Amino acid sequence: MLSVASNAILVASKVTIGILSGSVAVLSEGIHSSLDLIAALIAFFSVSLSAKPEDEKHPYGHGKIESVSGAVEALLIVVAGALIIREAIHKLHIGGEISNSGINLGLIVMFISVLLNIFVSRVLFKVAKKFESQALEADGHHLSTDVMTSFGVFIGLVLVRLTGKHWVDPVVAFGVAALIMWIGAKVFFNSFFDLLDQKLPEEEEKKIRQLIEDHSSMFVEYHKMRTRRSGAMRYIDLHLVVSGTQNLEEAHNLCDHLEKDISELFQSANITIHVEPAKTAIVE
C-alpha cells in the first residue's frame, strides 16, 4: 500500500511537469513510474493471494503466484524502457527547448522522487527479506531503478541548464531506458526460473547437506535429494538409507528429527523423506 501510494503521487507529478516543461526525460520518468504503479498493484494482490493456504485444487499452496507476479513486473520494466526510447527518438527528431521554469520544476520533482523511492524501496526490501516475498522484492527493484533513473534525469536537467544543450535531455532518456531494461531482464529471469522449479541456491543446499551429514552416525547414507521453491515455501525431498536392524519407530523418529532441524534453517519448508533399508537400497 505504501508503494502504491508513493507511485500514484509520483506519476501525477512527473507526467504533469513533463508535459508542461516539454522534457522527454521527465515525461519518460512519468511513464516509468506509471508502470511502477501497475507493478505495485500487481504485487499487492499477488502477496495477498500467495498467502492463502492449500486447498483441494492447489495442494502445494499458492506461492507460485509471486513468481508470476515478479515475471510480469519485470516485463513491465522492459516495456517502460521501450516507451522511453520511443519518446527520446521522437524528441531528437523534432527538437525543442525546455524553459528555465520547466527545468526548475523537473529538478524539484526528480529530487523528491529520489528521496521518496529510496525510503519506500528500503522498506520493501526489508519486508521482502523478512517474509521471503518475491513479489515485494521485485517491487523493491522497480523502485530502485526509479531512484537511479530519477537521479540520472536530475543530472541531465542540470547539464541542460548549465550548457544550454537541449539534446542532452533525450540522450539522458536513452541511458535511463538502457539501465531499466537491463534490470528488468535480470528480475524476469530470476522469477522465470523459479516457475521452472529450479533448485534452491547452492548455499542453501550446502546448509541442508551439512545438517544431514552432521547426523551421519544415525543412518547409512542418503541420495536423490531434490529442492525447489514456491513463493516463500521451500520443498525438499530425499531418500534416506538406514540400517536394516532399525525398526519402523526408530526410522520415523530419525526422520522427524531431521525434518525439524531442516525446518529451523528456513521460515517455511516442506520436507519429505523416503526411508530405505540398507539391504535393499540402490545407491545412485
Q: What is the pLDDT of residues 75-124, one digit of tens each?
A: 877 887 787 788 778 777 776 677 777 788 888 888 998 899 899 989 98
- Express as a percent the part of the chain with pLDDT over 90: 15
> Torsion angle of alpha carbons 6, 7, 11, 13, nearest 10°?
20
More confident residue, 136 or 194: 136
User: What are the residue boundaries of the structural domains of the chain, listed by start?
Assistant: 2-195, 202-277
Tell which CATH classification among 3.90.1150.200, 1.10.3720.10, 3.30.70.1350, 1.25.40.10 matches the domain 202-277: 3.30.70.1350
- The more confidently predicted of residues 138 and 269 is 269
Average pLDDT, the chain: 82
Can you name the residues that pair with 229 across neighbouring β-strands? 234
Measured distance CA(251)–CA(203) in Å, rounded: 28
Q: How many H helices and E strands in the chain?
A: 8, 3
As a whole number, mean pLDDT of residues 188-216 equals 85
Highest mean pLDDT among 60-64, 120-124, 129-133: 120-124
Q: Domain 2-195: what homologous superfamily?
A: Cation efflux protein transmembrane domain (1.20.1510.10)
Q: How confident is the model at residue 284 (pLDDT cuts 50, 70, 90)?
A: very low
